[in-house]
Amino acid sequence: MTETARRIVLLGPPGGGKGTQAKRLEDKHGWPQLSTGDILRKAIKDGTPLGQRVKATIDAGKLVSDDEIMGVIAERMDQPDCVNGFVLDGVPRTLGQASALESLLAEKGTPLDAVIELRVPDERLLERLTGRFFCAQCNANYHETFHPPQTEGVCDHCGGTEFKRRSDDMPETVKGRLEAYHEQTEPLKPFYESRDLLRVVDGTMDMDDVTAEMERVVGLL
């Protein structure tokens, strides 16, 4: 594990590989993956004051505000494992969140080192996401093209024969998710380009090549 500190934001569409690559960087370099969803769930589980407010918001069927999201992010960044950097996965999603994050990091004296966009064409994302399915018995994940069961119709892990798909992996739902991503996130690119932070990595490469290119653009190779 390296002691080189890096503070990174990962941008990319659903199915673009952000979660996978963030976890790889965490395992290899010790920069914790700060996933917005995971952080919100943990804050709620731990019952922090902010977590309690977020829970009340969610229970009321409302969207979590930018202030609440940045609040739980700030709490997480104050934990000891973030002293040597982190990888933000899932935030910022909007210009408002990007501005709030910039202010938060300026207060801490820990500016971002890079914003990496994992770029994958929509047609490739549709193939990735709509081909996913999982075993109904043990939840093992598969893909029609890239990772089918060794024996068709039989789970490699438990021998189950019933499979399901996530509702948000249906073609029309995926298209809607991609449209929302482009609408919300496209404005972030000029925001970070103007700060000379944006770096683009081809997310269609092999997994190892994507990781190596990410390391290169943050100055580790």
Which residues are catalytic, by number? 18, 93, 132, 166, 177
Ligand-binding site membership of 82 (annotated): no
What is d(CA 18, CA 211) in angstroms, rounded to the nearest whole number? Answer: 11
Which phi-psi region, left, alpha or beta, contains residue 30 (left: φ > 0; alpha: ψ -120 to 50)?
left
What is d(CA 129, CA 136) in angstroms, rounded to the nearest whole number? Answer: 18
* Residues near 111 by beta carbon (within 8 Å), at least 6 away in sequence: 7, 105
CA distances from 208 to 17, 162, 163, 201 (A): 12, 32, 29, 12
Ligand-binding site membership of 110 (annotated): no
Bridge partners of 199?
116
Ligand-binding site membership of 96 (annotated): no
Q: How many helices (H) and strands (E) does the chain have?
A: 9, 8
Ligand-binding site membership of 79 (annotated): no
Ligand-binding site membership of 51 (annotated): no
Ligand-binding site membership of 137 (annotated): no
Ligand-binding site membership of 23 (annotated): no
Ligand-binding site membership of 130 (annotated): no
- Secondary structure E strands in 83-131: 85-89, 114-119
Q: Which residues are part of a known binding site for AMP?
A: 36, 41, 62-64, 97, 166, 177
Q: Which residues are part of a known binding site?
A: 15-20, 36, 41, 62-64, 97, 132, 135, 138, 155, 158, 166, 177, 205
Q: Which residues are part of a known binding site for Zn(2+)?
A: 135, 138, 155, 158
